[in-house]
Homo-oligomer: A and B are copies of this chain.
Amino acid sequence: MAGGAKARRLPRVVRERQMVDAAVRCFARHGYQAASMDEIAELAGVSKPLVYLYLGSKEELFTACIRREAGALLAAVDAGVGGAEVPPDERLWAGLLAFFTYAADHPDSWVVLSRQARTQGEPFAGEVARMRDEIVGFVAGLIGEAAGEADVVITGRDVDALAQALVGSAESLASWANETPGVAAKEAAATLMNFAWAGLGNLMKSERWSPRRRLPGSKVTG
């Protein structure tokens, strides 16, 4: 008797994967608090005590979800990005493409990481913040590298701020793309690349925007 509809007595690793899969889905759909262990167990096709036996507690289960999904996202981006011999804009492009592709392919994972985990306070926010910091750091590195190549001096905080801005726009675009039918990952990546890298390029050329001077109360003149 092989290939029954419901496999019993599976090895632990398989069962754990099923459970975390189910949990990611539930957490994505309902949020951490509203997702119930009952529902997760049912969706995983196991009994509740087994979930506790393998994953410990709801908190640990959520943490496991965050860790696994964060790792997968980072791995996907890392795999897409080339080594130091590739110029920074190419590396950013590759990273963005990998990122948008991951977000599109794993919408539940993306919702958990970008939304649910960050609103649940510690320890979850910290857990996902670590991953985000890594990405921000990666982007900051690229920006710094580009600045170096262009012989431009930028303060560390400016670099951080720019990286934050870029990552934020990527996050926003990813969610928008997931919710808007017909927006491909490649398209989103291209838009962002145009938007961001060009802006960075100008910064490199020290072309900064500043408000025009005008007399208080007077109308603006061309």
Contacts and interface: CB of A to CB of B under 8 A. Distances in A.
A126 to B, nearest CB: 12
Interface string A15-43: 00000000000000111111000000000
Contacts of A190: 209-210
Contacts of A165: 169-170, 172-173, 191-192, 195-196
Interface residues of A, number: 61
Contact of A208 (B169, B194, B209): B194
A82 B212 CA distance: 14
A90 B121 CA distance: 37
A8 interface: no
Contacts of A222: 87
Given A162-B191, A168-B169, A173-B161, A119 B116 contact: yes
Given A90-B212, A161-B183, A199-B202, 6 more contacts: A31-B31, A34-B120, A165-B172, A165-B191, A166-B195, A198-B199
